[in-house]
Amino acid sequence: VKEHLCLSLFFGVLVTKFVCISMQVMKYLEPFLLSLEKLNEVSARLRKDMIRGLEKHAHHRAAVKMLPTFVRATPDGTEKGDFLALDLGGTNFRVLHVRVMEEEQKMLKMDSQICAIPQEIMLGTGEQLFDHIAACLSEFLDSQNLKGQTLPLGFTFSFPCEQKEIDKQSILIRWTKGFNCSGVEGEDVVKLLKEAIHRRGDYDISSVAMVNDTVGTMMSCGYRDQTCEIGMIIGTGTNACYMEEMKNVKRVEGEDGRMCINTEWGGFGDDGSLEDILTEFDKVVDRTSINPGVHTFEKMISGMYLGEIVRLVLMKLTEKKLLFKGEASEALHTPGTFETKFISMIEEPDSGLENAKKILTELGLRWDLVDARVVRLVCETISSRSARLCAAALATIANRILANRGLPHLKTTVGVDGTVYKKHPK
């Protein structure tokens, strides 16, 4: 009975301490809490920017680029054949051999290989990057005994490009997500890939169709579910695409039918339109990034930045003596050490608190149970803001389709991909 009373008293003290500290902590977390009214405002601003991006003359100045993809329809299930797929969008890229069978309406991944992209190549020359990709593709073809075949290649390139047609010019507008290879911005990415393959001379491909990763996600989902007309990525970066009425795509000739538009919504706010929801921590993340002043929306949402936002908040709370008895470790002082995957681990419903203790120990911090709970509260607050901003933007697109078609209700499917979406427990 004495032990039970002592434990009850101990946990009662802890709860009281946590409630007291969390009330002080909320002063710093409050700017991350976006009301429904504010989210509706964000949605209205995005709607205006999307319309501006579709205009013939205003799109050059638009923060939301609304890039035509020249994909005119979602799959209908009759597609078939063998294809190579190349997926480039982060520190790793994937090469896949895919077989599509019409009679069973199946898409089989025959095999795949993940290739790392070292930091020196991400920041090197364009020639080095595409030579590295061509070399990895060559290794994969050898491993699959495909060198004698000339297969079409689907190239998923997860960076903003101005396309002329799906299999022709794809001009890189700008690098994002930590890439800064010289000699690629303003150049045709498909041409650079073909030249790298030609330089090797040990294999060939029949054609290259390039799509953004959002489009690839929408199309692969649409193969199984014909109601899918939106693709969304929440991973290293964030973006979305959807099927827009051709009559509204003023920068492309033609009035009939629909075309998939790559919104590039990561750039939303680059013109200052989100200044009122940026926190002091967002501003530091932007200022210290490889691309300050661009991809404002993405920096509040995606996996490349969420961990760093949490680290900056934890540093501030430590300075204010609300965490770790006011003592930060060398690791916590170091940018990039609090990884976004830690957020997912700490928010796990069953093991989250234990994960938090292990992570804080690995970061060299002296913590108590209240510290671990406060860290979890910080993670939940910042990932919730990310989710709510994605929801507001997704609602904008769904409402756009609804208005375009004059429908009272919209039934659609959203294809979603990305590590944050896949790994985060909520």
For 122-139, write each residue's pLDDT tens digit: 999 999 999 999 999 999
- CATH number for region 81-211: 3.30.420.40
Segments making up each domain of the chain, as ranges:
26-69+226-426, 81-211
Token couple for 314: 């934890």
Is pLDDT of 2 > 60?
Answer: no
Write the CB contacts of 104 (distance below 8 Å, at least 6 apart in sequence). Answer: none
Active site residue 191: no
Q: What is the pTM of this model?
A: 0.85
Q: Is residue 88 a contact partner of residue 213, using CB atoms and an 8 Å limit?
A: no
For the residues of 138-181, what is the DSSP string, one character each? Answer: HHHHHHTT-TT----EEEEE-S-EEESSTTS-EEE----TT---
Report residue 107's pLDDT band, with 50, 70 and 90 as the boundaries: low
- List the Cα angle 209/215/221 in 5-degree steps: 110
Q: Is residue 53 a contact partner of residue 59, using CB atoms and an 8 Å limit?
A: yes
Has domain 26-69+226-426 been given CATH number 3.20.20.80?
no
pLDDT of 109: 63
In this structure, of 144-158, 281-295, 341-355, the range with the lowest mean pLDDT score is 144-158
Residue 416's nearest CA partner among 234, 187, 293, 227 is 234
In this structure, of 12-16, 125-129, 171-175, 306-310, the range with the lowest mean pLDDT score is 12-16
> Out of 49, 213, 270, 286, which one is annotated catalytic?
213
Q: Is residue 58 a contact partner of residue 65, using CB atoms and an 8 Å limit?
A: no
The percentage of the chain sitting over the pLDDT mark of 70, rounded to a whole number, equals: 92
Tens of pLDDT, residues 173-196: 888 888 889 999 999 998 999 999
Q: What is the dihedral of CA 368, 371, 375, 377, to 10 degrees?
A: 120
H or E element: which one contains 233?
Answer: strand 228-234
> Out of 65, 177, 194, 299, which one is annotated catalytic?
177
Query: How far apart, in whole angstroms, are the C-alpha atoms of residue 123 and residue 111?
Result: 29
Neighbours of 54 (CB within 10 A): 22
Active site residue 213: yes
DSSP code at position 74 = -
Same fold, 26-69+226-426 and 81-211: no
In this structure, of 88-92, 358-362, 386-390, the range with the lowest mean pLDDT score is 88-92
